[in-house]
Amino acid sequence: MYELENPKYLYLLLLIPFLVVVFLLQLYWKRKKQREFGDLELVKQLTPTKSILKPILKFVVVSLALIALIIALVNPKIGTKMETVKRQGIDIVFALDISKSMLAEDIAPSRLDKSKQLISQIINSLGNDRIGIVGYAGSAYPVLPMTTDYSIAKMYLNNMNTNMVSSQGTALNDAIRLATTYFDAVDTSKLIVLVSDGEDHGDGAIEAIQTAKDKGIKIITIGVGTENGGPIPMKDDYGRVSEYKKDSNGEVVITKLNPSILENIADDTNGGYISGTTTKEVVEQIKNALDNIEKTEFETQQIAEYQTQYQWFIGIAFFLLFVDIFFLERKTAWLKKLNLFNER
């Protein structure tokens, strides 16, 4: 197993054929000038210590050193070690409401952005827990399967938007039902963190909650928004508010937080309801809730540890450059006796 940290530097290898062409042109030019000066055999006799093949050997050695330096810049890594890692923690699925009502700005900067901040800070406070992400509006959408890679999870989280699900609404039942399918291990502690403004337009929430209860899944709900509510901004391609969403009568729609639905879901599954107004308080309450949930060993993972190899190529490059110092362009006595280059 291997990987290249900076593969863009491989383009520098194109310098080698260019240098070869320049070197060959230089040899041709030298030979041409020697012919202009006089007979080649006579010139050779006038410079008896001049080696023909050593300049070529020097060029090859320097070229190999340059190739080694370029490979060092690329920094190849080799997976030389495999480890079995056992983790203890909780399986957590974040279900994020991405309906249009989450664009309301009654909570700064918007309900959706605030929800992302909350989930991101919760993830930062976790230890060895596995997490997954579900997005939902009029239907639910799997965003990220269970993982322990928190950086990837936050990247997917930041890319979530209201255009990911075509059908609008807030189908809490679909979100819960899809989230329950994420838990593949039987013996692990399971938790769904559902973040929404509580504007539910779906049916079958009771059945979905019962499914969660049957599987031993607790649901913590976080309400984001205000009960006074706010309009839903409609933005153009440049992110500017062009208008606000209106109903069939042409009246501006005011979306309000509905905490009662979220409280009922939390109570029915022995979870808890949290107001999403203050990020610090949300994180602290989630941490307290997780401390009261038993952590179980849930994963054995094979991890390949990549080790950098650039130092070897730097060493090879310096060795070749050091050797090049001793390759003089004139013949040396002991090499002349060996006749390695067949020059006599």
Can you give the pLDDT at residue 139? 84
Do 158 and 29 fall within a single domain? no
Q: Could you tell me the CA-to-CA distances from 275 to 60, 92, 107, 308 in Å, in that order?
A: 71, 19, 12, 47
Checking if the pLDDT of 141 tops 80, the result is yes
- Tell me the residue type at 312: W
CA pair distance 208, 177, nearest whole angstrom: 5
Q: Tell me whether residue 155 is in a domain.
A: yes
Can you give the pLDDT at residue 334? 46
Checking if the pLDDT of 101 tops 70, the result is yes
User: Which residue is it, tokens 């879901």?
Assistant: 265
Do 139 and 264 fall within a single domain? yes
Q: Could you tell me the CA-to-CA distances from 298 to 88, 130, 152, 153, 329 in Å, in that order?
A: 6, 9, 20, 19, 67
Domain extent at residue 315: 2-75+309-338
Q: Indicate the pLDDT class of residue 330, thresholds 50, 70 and 90.
A: low
Q: Tell me whether residue 238 is in a domain.
A: yes
Task: Report the mean per-residue pLDDT for the chain.
Answer: 82
Can you give the pLDDT at residue 295? 74
Higher pLDDT, 199 or 60: 60
Checking if the pLDDT of 185 tops 80, the result is no
Q: Indicate the pLDDT class of residue 301, thresholds 50, 70 and 90.
A: low
pLDDT digits (tens, 9 = 90+) for 4-62: 888 888 899 999 999 999 988 988 887 777 676 656 565 555 555 556 677 788 889 89
* Residue 40 CB neighbour total at 10 angstroms: 11
The pTM score is: 0.62
Do 160 and 112 fall within a single domain? yes
Q: Tell me whether residue 86 is in a domain.
A: no
6 near 75, Cβ under 8 Å?
A: yes
Q: Tell me whether residue 85 is in a domain.
A: no
CA-based end-to-end distance of the chain: 50
Range from 78-92, 125-139, 147-161 carrying the lowest mean pLDDT: 78-92
* Residue 189 CB neighbour total at 10 angstroms: 20
Can you give the pLDDT at residue 76? 87
Q: Mutual orientation of helices 111-124 and 150-158 as an angle, nearest 10°?
A: 180
CA pair distance 173, 136, nearest whole angstrom: 10
Task: Quote the number of domains for the chain.
Answer: 2
The continuous run of DSSP H or E covering 37 comes out as helix 15-37
Report percent pLDDT > 70 for the chain.
78
Mean pLDDT of 135-150: 89
Checking if the pLDDT of 149 tops 50, the result is yes
Do 160 and 37 fall within a single domain? no
CA pair distance 182, 127, nearest whole angstrom: 19
CA pair distance 322, 301, nearest whole angstrom: 45
Q: What is the largest CA-CA distance in the chain?
A: 105
Do 252 and 145 fall within a single domain? yes
Do 116 and 69 fall within a single domain? no
Can you give the pLDDT at residue 226? 92
CA pair distance 57, 200, nearest whole angstrom: 78
Range from 37-46, 153-162, 202-211 carrying the lowest mean pLDDT: 37-46
CA pair distance 176, 224, nearest whole angstrom: 18
Can you give the pLDDT at residue 298? 55
Do 69 and 102 fall within a single domain? no
Q: Indicate the pLDDT class of residue 344, thresholds 50, 70 and 90.
A: low
Q: Tell me whether residue 80 is in a domain.
A: no
Can you give the pLDDT at residue 286? 92
CATH of the domain at 133: 3.40.50.410
CA pair distance 262, 193, nearest whole angstrom: 11
pLDDT digits (tens, 9 = 90+) for 122-132: 999 988 888 99
Beta bridge partners, 89, equal 296
Beta bridge partners, 274, equal 222
Report percent pLDDT > 90 for the chain.
33
Range from 117-121, 137-141, 166-170, 258-262 carrying the lowest mean pLDDT: 166-170
Can you give the pLDDT at residue 310? 85
